[in-house]
Amino acid sequence: MHEYLSWMAANTPTKWCNDSADPGDLHRALDAGAVGCTTNPPLSYLAHTASPDAFAAERAALTAAGDERVAELIGIVVRPIARVLTPVYERSAGEQGYVRAQVQPGLADDADAMVAMGRLFASWAPNVMVKIPGTAAGLVALEELAAAGIPTTPTVNTTISQIVAVAEANERGIARARAAGITPARSTAAIVLGRLQDYLAAVNTERNAGVSVADLESACLALVKRAYRIFRDRGYAQALMPAAFRCARQVSELVGSDVVMTIHPSIQEIVAKADSAGAIERDPDAIEDEIDHDAVARVLSALPEFAHAYEPDALEPARFGSYGATAMTLASFDATGWQKLRTL
């Protein structure tokens, strides 16, 4: 199933992670060249409920309540994954082999609380990356964790403005870490292009704007390419992490970039089918191909909200959390993940 992704991992600079907490998914991905794992509250909930007996004893032993208990439930899922990935972490001298764990979505405006939870998550293993939302408070938390030498993944970034801001926050944290004699940690910035596409699709339907799915796919792909070129030109230490893909070509047309994709098993299957059918190319330099400028222009014309995502510096940090795609994603992670974990 993973021939294309195996080829990509072996022949290009592009790295990938398994976007699932399921052990079977992870082992299959590692066999195909994956270098890490991404979790979030919904994925942690799914891990607990898909195999209820696997974690039953540890759940029964928990004494914490409320959100503290939810954090421990996430730890029950994340710690075994960290152990599985330890050989990758050690072989790469800490460059790869991370599992990513997301702080409570409802804390997106509370920097101190996110830092405290991030420190807890980081205590589980050296190869746990703390996922912090790309909000104004998230920038503060990200810098603090980076200054402490804690690996991070700023997430729910759906705009170029956020991606630039989180990279700059990480640079400030790295400078502070070095000044304090602390070795800087790795960081990957998740740009969740599919979440932006979902938001734009909803707006498109609401307004009957007539934008095609293909144009939305192309526009969101163009946004990632723009973000990647900004990162490359500015030499940020942080690696870009394209995430939440919605079709095979959003993967294949980024191949050749020095990024760490995180790919859900459902998309892994879509990529495999497209590869088998000859619907995508094995182009090791696809990242250098031109974007579909006409599609971008059509989306910008029909959906002005896309300009807020696509244009650098279009949003101030105070507006990051309220931008439609980011707000929608945080609400979804809370409702379908964190709140459901509270019921276990």
- Please give the structure tokens belonging to residue 164: 């630039």
Evaluate whether 224 touches 260 at the Cβ level (below 8 Å): no
Residue type present at position 50: A
Evaluate whether 341 touches 149 at the Cβ level (below 8 Å): no
Q: How many CB atoms lie within 10 A of CB 207?
A: 11
Between CA 50 and CA 56 the distance in angstroms is 12
Evaluate whether 261 touches 242 at the Cβ level (below 8 Å): yes
Q: Read out DSSP for 115-162? A: HHHHHHHHTT-TTEEEEEESSHHHHHHHHHHHHTT--EEEE-B-SHHH
Residue type present at position 249: R
Residue 305's contacts (CB-CB under 8 Å, 6 or more residues apart) are 199, 200, 203, 324
Evaluate whether 152 touches 123 at the Cβ level (below 8 Å): no
Q: Is 131 a catalytic residue?
A: yes
334 DSSP 8-state letter: I
Between CA 122 and CA 254 the distance in angstroms is 30
35 torsion bin: left (phi>0), alpha (psi -120 to 50), beta (else): alpha
Annotated catalytic residue: which of 131, 225, 273, 340? 131
Please calculate the CA angle 190-196-200 and round it to the nearest 5 degrees.
175
Side-chain-side CA neighbours of 205 within 13 Å: the count stands at: 6
Between CA 45 and CA 257 the distance in angstroms is 32
Between CA 35 and CA 204 the distance in angstroms is 36
Between CA 69 and CA 317 the distance in angstroms is 31
The catalytic residues are 131
